[in-house]
Amino acid sequence: KIGSLKAWSFSTYKFTKQLLSEKLGQATRTVDSELEGQIESLKDTQLKYLNLLKLAKSLTTHFTQVIQTQKSLGDAFSQLSQKNPELHEEFTYNSETQKILCKNGETLLGALNFFISTLTTLCNKTIEDTLITIRHYESARIEYDAYRLDVESMQMVGTKDSVQSQRLADAQQRYEAHKEKFENLRSDVAIKMKFLDENRVNVMQRQLVLFHNAVASYFSGNQVALEETMKQFNIKLKTPNSTKPSWLENNK
């Protein structure tokens, strides 16, 4: 245990020293421009998707309030239709219109919540899993450079006795171990990012089609198209059984 603690302390010291030296411009670092560009792009994509998720949640919250208000409005129209015989017909069809809008609004909410759930999984699980591997890779890169610079420094000084030769041999051994770890993680990152990008595109294509079709169908008053969208994406939700083309047009 003491040996493990010493090794951990030494490794932590090397890591911290290398990181500070890089920030101060006192040490060189290994650069993979292409991979680092892809990593920065992924981090930026996650931030933008998280903002999209935030806005979608905000829209859903506001729309939920609209539906609740429509339900209350429909109930108010219904009560007034009973107490105002002279306006019974007018109050009644206004009540029915609000109730239908409310029911179909709940259908749209189902689509929005499905979109939010999928985007949440993509941002907080799928992308985050790759970013965790990237963080391990970035740490391994710092460790690798720390031991690389150790070896280079010792080689520049040279070995004058057996003690220095042994120190160089030990440093080279640690360097090779961290080089292997670094290269393996770099390969893992490249593979994960490739599959993540393919998965991200497939997921977002479906979700963007869902979002567009559901929102467009609802606000154009096309109940049939809205229900077909829910079926297309296998979203289970109770919806009105009407086959009329438009609940707005049929309540004018």
Report the 3 state secondary structure along the chain: CHHHHHHHHHHHHHHHHHHHHHHCCCCCCCCCHHHHHHHHHHHHHHHHHHHHHHHHHHHHHHHHHHHHHHHHHHHHHHHHHHHCHHHHHHHHHHHHHHHHHHHHHHHHHHHHHHHHHHHHHHHHHHHHHHHHHHHHHHHHHHHHHHHHHHHHHHHHHCCCCHHHHHHHHHHHHHHHHHHHHHHHHHHHHHHHHHHHHHHHHHHHHHHHHHHHHHHHHHHCCCHHHHHHHHHHCCCCCCCCCCCCCCCCHHHC
Condensed to tens digits (0 to 9), the pLDDT of residues 63-74 reads: 999 999 999 999
Residue 85 lies in a domain: yes
Distance CA 145, CA 5 (A): 22
Whole-number CA gyration radius for the chain: 31
Q: Over the chain, what is the mean pLDDT?
A: 87
Domain count for the chain:
1
- Note the pLDDT of residue 246: 38
| Average pLDDT over every residue of 85-97 | 94
Residue 24 lies in a domain: no
Residue 2 lies in a domain: no
- Note the pLDDT of residue 2: 56
Residue 90 lies in a domain: yes
Residues in Cβ contact with 6 at an 8 Å cutoff, skipping those fewer than 6 apart: none
- Note the pLDDT of residue 240: 45
Residue span of the structural domain in which 63 resides: 32-251
Condensed to tens digits (0 to 9), the pLDDT of residues 136-193 reads: 999 999 999 988 988 888 888 776 777 778 888 888 999 999 999 999 999 999 999 9
Residue 27 lies in a domain: no
Say whether pLDDT at 241 is over 50: no
Q: What percent of the chain has pLDDT over 90?
A: 66
> pLDDT category, 6, cuts 50, 70, 90?
low
| Average pLDDT over every residue of 84-94 | 94
Say whether pLDDT at 248 is over 70: no
- Say if residue 231 is exposed, middle or buried (CB neighbours under 10 Å; 0-12, 13-18, 19+): exposed
Neighbouring CB atoms inside 10 A of 90's CB total 13
| Average pLDDT over every residue of 191-202 | 96
Note whether 19 and 139 are within 8 A (CB).
no
Residue 94 lies in a domain: yes
Query: Which of 11-20, 46-55, 204-213 has the weakest average pLDDT?
Result: 11-20
Q: What is the CATH number of the domain that holds 199?
A: 1.20.1270.60
- Scan for tokens 């499905």, then name that residue: 114
> pLDDT category, 251, cuts 50, 70, 90?
very low
Residue 219 tokens, joined: 């606000």
Distance CA 200, CA 210 (A): 15
Say what the alpha-carbon torsion angle 223, 227, 232, 238 is, to the nearest 10 degrees: 160
- Note the pLDDT of residue 1: 56
Residue 22 lies in a domain: no
This prediction's pTM:
0.81
| Average pLDDT over every residue of 228-238 | 82
Choice between 157 and 247, residue whose per-residue pLDDT is larger: 157
| Average pLDDT over every residue of 28-48 | 93
Residue 17 lies in a domain: no
